[in-house]
Structure 1
């Protein structure tokens, strides 16, 4: 795992000293991503420079130094990530007379480009990666990103210069770049808590989409991204050619494939462990890791002193049963809140998924013991584990028969109640609700139900309201925009034939790479820890997408087939509970210990001078929250995270 940077400027007056100084400034900002080694490579005649920060994982010797040049001198690469099938590719390349000087996967990538070209090589790589490759013979620059978006890559053109980097802070460090806020991206951030790709918070800078590459003949070329792996195609193929095996046969095949995937991600020349929350996904990963290892797996979890938000005991039970070398850390509210001032640096562009705090805490804990950690991310999306999939489908199924006026009035009626009253109502009836219908954070679910009732009958509109944090960003902004939408689920309705598959597609294209994977990447790389995600192996995904949805969803609950695999190794009784996930007590914090901090960032004069927000709307939202008229903590957190980020970088 590493950090990559680079820029290309063909101005006649760009001297070598300026090129080198700007490149060094970019590289230095990514020290946390790769503290083990630093490298730069410059072609002054073409005005291009590549930079690299290295976290040594495979072949930790100097032979893995980057940027690296191919044996024939044609290709130069700066690369972030891991290609797990590099030994297999290496054996094929050796048969084609390629000679290797190191055991690094970087050298295998370069030899692959020599043998098959960059485009065809991409289809052969199994792993997580982003890279830039300069083809000296054809004078082309290639940028590429892995299929699911585990590794980040930003790029863009400004002042006749092409910039690219693993994180925005590196681009910002280049003196040629002038950062300007993209107001449309700000609106999207307020709605979803993250900036969805291909946008970034800066005008003119993009995120390369997962499964895509782009080739530049000149630094000012138009952005012509090409797809080398399509999730849409994979899902359509799965629908047309579903697995027809028995459930037991599917479970057997799933377990075998998972074990193979996990085994490939356990290859490391440095200490390795796993995050363990005690939920289905991480427990499955750790259980199967234990089968592949001759020693106890090192596992890590973080708990909170607040009883209502502490779930470390779930992980402890699983760890005890599996006999892992388990480390847990109980964090006080003060310790968790102390991380807030670090968030702008860690996440680099506005990011407001509040689980960013415990994710950083568990990464920091793990780094004290290991350099690589496996995680269970991706299970909810691939195996239909989110409750919202079931809730949204039921809502759409029944609500489409209700007259639009009645639905809208019903939504307004729900909104007339304070969130506290809605929560109290739910707690009153909770004892008689069947277990598979119970929900966490009911006040938030009621808010979103009200928004959904006021939606059109278009399924995409309903789902986007359910996944939104701020439904109408314009109401809090100091300007009006035609807001971009996420992937429109309704466009794929007929193709996917099932609304849950449409929701899964949307999440895997947006929420998963731009929220979940971004959160894990920044939290882990912020402490120089590499995370690996077995569920996101593309060959495994292609298999999972062939499993019929009725084998994933049963009796109103997701992950059915995955649970059956897990229960072969851990008793089902350890999981008979509803987990909240990595949640923090935002509501209480904003009314208590974070109140002063929040008021500093929501100062009326400050909001006015910054010019982004309508101060009257924002302060009214704050007042309603403090007075208990609604739990608007997540909406306020989005605004506060932007303000905190903006103050750090303006």
Structure 2
């Protein structure tokens, strides 16, 4: 787990050091950079190392193999030992015990197809000096970030956009990206906050030819959204097969040359990961959870019950208001482009204190998307019957609901006016009420709509596929990567192994969602080792009590930051409409905290960057 950087542009040594120092929190153990020059073509590779496997300096990066293969690599290839064994049989020799060296040898043996051999999370770039070629890739589910700049001649890349941003005087802020941010709460791939910088999409590889300046990207993996590989076995077969896959994904992620722990929220997914970890580890597992003092937000008691049953070394981290405020003030330093998932704050607190004891933590991310676990999926089922009614009838019902004083009924009224459930779900994920957004851009238009708008699968399978490609990638993975790397902690997600995702994707819906029982098959695997009664409670989210804070403790902060003058300086919004919506939140007539947080984050980023760049 690290931060990577590289460029063909000309920077002096101090400038390169500054670029690496900007994201040194991603890898504080060793900062390294190298200059390469062949045929008058300059290449600079840089790396911030967080030492996880083979702590010896021999595995520091940039790393060179066979004299002409140079690499910077962020992430882990969990099956590198088996790949290494095969390569040794083919005659390859190794000087380290790292996965970095194995990745280089695999490239020499398999070429660009090496990517299909890797199980893991990664973003890497190989400089093949003989071919004068960059070859790189981002992992299948987008766990690791990858930003790049390409002007037709030169190329620059980094784990975070702030490194590219430094000493780059031709960047412009993207008004389109701001419009999309206001809808999604993040900036969907491949866009970034700057027009000239893009993100490499998850599951994609690329080449950059240093001689011609040609850049080419293409997908190497995708989920089976066309339903071409359905599972053929029984439910019991599937349960046993899933259990074996999970044992492998968890045990492989426990391997490290540094201390490892598990994030334990007390929910199904993290409890399952913790359970399998205790079964497969030879040492006592450390687990970590967050405690909130706010009524209705503290789930730590359930995590403690699971920890007691599994007999883990459990640590409860109390969410401190003042500490949370400090993180809010520094939020954009770590996320370095607008990002509005408020659960990033407790995620950062969890990471900050977990790092005091371990360097790697396993999480339960990915279970909800692959196994139908979110509350909104149940609501989708309940709403299904309404869309059997003709649209004119639904519009009459909407007109009646709009007269109700309750804002939730007004939201339902808006939903009833959509043509079908696909449109409703897209609206739910991009903000049902976009009346405050003032833009000419169609901010719902992303490439990933193809996973939702088709007839190859039923509605539940389509929306979970869509969430995997959007919400999981754009939001969850971004949140976890930045929150953990802010404190030099590596997060590993066994349920985001592509084998788990592929297997879940192939299963019949009733294996995952049956008679109101969400994540059915995951729960049945879990209940083999943890009592069912511990989980007989409503599902809870990982959120901060911002709704109350914005009306009480942080009211003055909100009103000062989002006053009339400030709102008028923010692109793509109707300032008067937003003022009215903030007033609704303060008087309790409508919970507008997601909008308020979204605008606070955007304003903080613009305050730090807006004066340096024009908006186009």
Using the size of structure 2 for normalisation, the TM-score is 0.94
State the secondary structure of the residue aligned to 1:309: coil
Which deviates more, 36-45 or 106-115? Answer: 36-45
Question: Contact (CA 8 Å) 2:343, 2:543: kept in 1 or not?
Answer: yes
Q: Give CA-to-partner distance per residue, 1:199-227, whole Å, 9 cap, x none.
A: 11111211111110111114985653211
1:378–1:512 CA contact under 8 A, matched in 2: yes
Kindly state the Cα deviation for residue 490 of structure 1 after the two structures are TM-superposed: 6.2
* Alignment equivalent of 2:426, drawn from 464, 472, 482: 464
Alignment match, 1:91: 85
For residue 613 of structure 1, report the CA deviation from its aligned partner. 3.4
CA–CA distance in structure 2, aligned partners of residues 223 and 595 of structure 1: 49
Q: What is the CA-CA distance between 1:281 and the residue it aligns to? A: 0.2
SS at match of 1:308: coil
Runs of 5+ consecutive residues of structure 1 not aligned to the other structure: 423-442
**Mapped partners of 2:240, 2:282: distance in 1:** 22
1:78 corresponds to 2:47? no
Greater shift, 464-473 or 381-390, is seen at 464-473
Pair 163,301 (structure 1): closer, same or farther in 2 beyond 3 Å: same
Deviation at 1:493, TM superposition (A): 5.0
Matches within 5 A, 1:420-431: 421=406
For 2:239 and 2:24, locate their aligned partners in 1 and report how far apart those are by CA, in whole Å.
43
Measure, in 1, the Cα distance between the counterparts of 2:120 and 2:106. 15
RMSD: 2.0
Residue of 241, 244, 248 corresponding to 1:260: 248
Q: Tell me what 2:613 maps to.
A: none
Equivalent residue, structure 2, for 1:389 = 377
Partner residue in 1 for 2:386: 399
- Cα deviation for residue 252 of structure 1 reads 1.3
Instruction: Identify the residue that residue 51 of structure 2 maps to in structure 1.
Output: 56
Instruction: From 314, 317, 333, give the equivalent of 1:326.
Output: 314
CA distance in 1, matches of 2:570, 2:214: 32
Matches within 5 A, 1:222-621: 224-231=216-223, 234-236=224-226, 239-395=227-383, 397-418=384-405, 421=406, 443=408, 446=409, 448-457=411-420, 459-469=421-431, 471-472=433-434, 475-477=436-438, 479-487=439-447, 489=449, 493-621=453-581
Change (3 A) 1:199 1:27: same
Distance 2:451 2:296 in 1: 41
Instruction: Say yes or no: does 1:632 pair with 2:595.
Output: no
Preserved contact between residue 39 and residue 51 of structure 1 (Cα < 8 Å):
yes
Helix, strand or coil: the match of 1:482? coil
Match of 1:433 in 2: none
Structure 1 residue 448 displacement after superposition: 4.5
Distance verdict in 2 for CA 1:413–1:353, change over 3 Å: farther
* Change in 2 beyond 3 A, CA 1:202/1:416: farther
1:425 match: none
d(CA) in 2 for partners of 1:223, 1:452? 42
Deviation at 1:54, TM superposition (A): 0.2
Whether the 8 Å CA contact 2:225–2:451 is kept in 1: the answer is no
**Whole-Å separation in 1 of the counterparts to 2:267 and 2:410:** 26
Residues 2-151 of structure 1 correspond to what in structure 2 (within 5 A)?
2-9=2-9, 14=10, 18-44=11-37, 45-71=40-66, 73-117=67-111, 119-151=112-144
Which whole-Å deviations, capped at 9, do the CAs of 1:493-518 have from their partners, x for residues lacking one? Answer: 55532111111111111110110011
Q: 2:106, 2:114 within 8 Å by CA — same for their partners in 1? A: yes
Count of paired positions: 608
Output one character per residue of 1:124-153: Cα deviation in whole Å (capped at 9) or x when no partner.
111100011111111111231011111000
Residues 317-343 of structure 1 show CA distances to partners (whole Å, capped at 9, x for unaligned) of 100111000000222433323321121
Distance 1:447 1:488 in 2: 28
User: Aligned runs of 1:151-230 on 2, under 5 Å?
Assistant: 151-158=144-151, 161-173=154-166, 175-218=167-210, 221=213, 224-230=216-222
Q: Is the 8 A contact 1:279 1:579 kept in 2?
A: yes
SS at structure 2 position matched to 1:510 = helix
Could you tell me how far apart the structure 2 residues matched to 1:460 and 1:490 are?
Answer: 11
- After TM superposition, the structure 1 stretch with the greater mean CA deviation from structure 2, 549-558 or 312-321, is 549-558
Whole-angstrom CA distance in 1 between matches of 2:164 and 2:172: 12
SS in 2 for 1:225: strand
Alpha-carbon distance in structure 2 between the residues aligned to 1:76 and 1:415: 62
Report the Cα offset of residue 640 of structure 1.
Answer: 1.5
Of stretches 310-319 and 407-416 in structure 1, the one that deviates more from structure 2 is 407-416
Q: What TM-score comes out, normalization by structure 1 length? A: 0.89
Tell me if the contact between 2:183 and 2:431 (Cα under 8 Å) persists in the aligned partners.
Answer: yes
CA contact 1:19–1:47 (8 Å) conserved in 2: no
Indicate conservation of the 8 Å contact 2:174/2:193, yes or no. yes
Task: Decide whether the 8 Å contact of 1:553 with 1:560 is kept in 2.
Answer: yes
Deviations 1:217-245 (Å, cap 9, x if unpaired)? Answer: 149856532111122xx344xx3443333
